[in-house]
Structure 1
Amino acid sequence: MRGFALMSPTFFYALLLLAVPVAVTITFSFWTQTYLDLDTTFTLANYQEVWSKPIYRVLMFRSLTIAGIVTAVTVILAYPLAYYISFHVKERQALWIFLITIPFWTSYLLRIFAWKLILGYNGVINSTLMELGIIGEPLEFILHNANAVVMTLSHAWLPFAILPIFVSLQKIDRSLLEAANDLGDGPVMRFLRVTLPLSLPGVIAASLIVFIPTIGDYVTPRLVGGSDGLMIANMIQVQFGKANNWPLGAALAMTSMLLVTAVSVAFILVARFLGGRVR
């Protein structure tokens, strides 16, 4: 009883902030909205609409694709930097980590607007390329589409990917690398056989940290994505806002949550399998 008494405040706090909102969302997803009234009769109509209308399937697939690309780009960019800090920076590692966190000092919205200015029709990239004579007219494919969303989100979530990979690399016993070197492994084989498998937990953590919130982002697609960069979160926001159809929005949210969970679990299993094969 004493152990339960010590645990209960934390348990009820987590229950209040996590379980209750999810339970409310699940409950709403089985109701229907009739103009201004909410019909609490149990129904699967919302889920049938989610899976039957092409627009929802397109947005869901686009969201998974964009989130997957952002995750891959972010982890690929983050790993070399984390590796360099962990293995080649002997002093002032704390300073490097401090510099990585500097983007957090700026508002997320300001960073998005900054990218909008950089990628804009008359933005920094187009103006520079035109001044250099490389292009004759502004590039239109770098803003108001999925490309802009990928670039903006990759920049925004890069620090979140660097930190878990760095921590994972720091935990690697350096004597294992020395042993691999004594056994004749070169730098590439040492990395593939020792460093990469042992840092895989950090890679998995970084991937999940980036993938899960990215697929639920609706601010970035709205500001820099245009009609070709909208994601499922934008549709959920519309249903809870202008459309005033909370049950359908809840069904979209729960469907997205289930898909994200399935993809995340599959990714973890595949990553662990490949990690075992590498070892």
Structure 2
Amino acid sequence: MDAKRGLLLVSPTAAYVILLLAAPLMTILAFSFWTQDFLAIDTTFTLDNYREAFADPIYRTLMARSLWISGAVTLVTVILAFPIAYFVSFHVPPERKALWIFLITIPFWTSYLLRVFLWKVILGFNGVLNSGLQSIGLIDEPLTFILYNSNAVVITLAHAFAPFTILPIYVALEKIDRSLLEASQDLGESKFSTFFRVTLPLAMPGVIAATLIVFIPTIGDYVTPRLVGGPNGLMIANMIQTQFLKLNNAPLGATLSVLAMCCVTAISLIFLFLNRRYLRTQ
């Protein structure tokens, strides 16, 4: 009876997941083994799409660039977010923490597209950053390496995903029992060693969550690379969009999507494995 009641309770959620997650993924996987001639889909099984994806250097270049940009964005956001989350958790009075969290979430109030355009204005050849640096005499001519390349994509995505990294790390830090830190220092550990041997390992669930929350979606972002990346900042998602919407080659676009998902899954599993080994040594 209890088993039937449990199945009844989870069945709506299971159906929702199957319809909106599993079914689209299986459809994309099936498309990757088909071919398309303009609007006609040939459902004959073939591996030609995967052969083309591995043989053409442009796809390998875009995939490598996407992984590098996603990794750089993840690293930058986590490194910058941890001190902010630590400060709010350990040094802000309890009655003011809600205000700080409120301020951190303010970027969510504005459109993602608007924020990307604002960074385009800031990083532009005659933008706010270059104009400011020239006015104070730090540079003689505008910097050209901060827009329409992978650097601009990393900067823009790091800002866009900053709240996604701060919040899970903050939640993990809030759950740490402060008496453990006091006990560590009572046993002769310095604040520095206490942080690396007690605080950081206990905060790793938040760090892991922040890392995955940023790394997984950034590799599929195509708006930011299109607007601020230029030719040298385009990612694999831009090629997938082109295959689906402009070249009428949905099977090849599906193949690139499957390969991107496989790369993200493999890297995420390796990261989780290395993190588990790190925690075991603490």
Same fold per TM (> 0.5)? yes
**Superposed displacement of residue 36, structure 1:** 2.8
Aligned partners of 1:9 and 1:35: how far apart in 2? 38
Does 2:230 correspond to 1:226?
yes
Matched with 1:13 is 16
Partner of 1:33, secondary structure, is strand
Does 2:275 correspond to 1:267?
no
**Superposed displacement of residue 206, structure 1:** 0.3
**Superposed displacement of residue 97, structure 1:** 0.4
**Superposed displacement of residue 135, structure 1:** 1.6
Which residue identity is paired with 2:85? Answer: A
2:69 equivalent among 66, 70, 76: 66
Matched with 2:169 is 165
**Superposed displacement of residue 9, structure 1:** 1.0
Aligned partners of 1:224 and 1:137: how far apart in 2? 20
Runs of 4+ in 1 over 2 A off after TM superposition: none
1:156 equivalent among 144, 155, 160: 160
Aligned partners of 1:236 and 1:32: how far apart in 2? 15
Matched with 1:137 is 141
Matched with 1:254 is 258
Does 2:35 correspond to 1:32?
yes
Partner of 1:272, secondary structure, is helix
Which residue identity is paired with 2:104? Answer: I
Matched with 2:128 is 124
**Superposed displacement of residue 268, structure 1:** 0.9
Count of matched residue pairs? 278
Does 2:5 correspond to 1:2?
yes
**Structure 2 unpaired stretches of 5+:** none
Partner of 1:257, secondary structure, is helix
Matched with 1:47 is 50
Comparing 266-275 with 68-77, which one deviates more in the overlay? 266-275
**Superposed displacement of residue 7, structure 1:** 1.5
**Superposed displacement of residue 35, structure 1:** 2.7
Partner of 1:89, secondary structure, is coil
2:90 equivalent among 71, 74, 87: 87
Partner of 2:202, secondary structure, is helix
**Superposed displacement of residue 76, structure 1:** 0.2
Does 2:172 correspond to 1:180?
no
Q: TM-score, normalised by structure 1?
A: 0.98
Which residue identity is paired with 1:180? Answer: S
Partner of 1:9, secondary structure, is helix
Which residue identity is paired with 1:265? Answer: L
Partner of 2:233, secondary structure, is coil
Identity %: 65
Which residue identity is paired with 2:130? Answer: N
Matched with 2:119 is 115
- Can you list the C-alpha shifts for 1:5-59, whole angstroms capped at 9, x where unaligned? 2211111011111001001101111000123311110001111111111000000
Which residue identity is paired with 2:118? Answer: A
Partner of 2:231, secondary structure, is coil
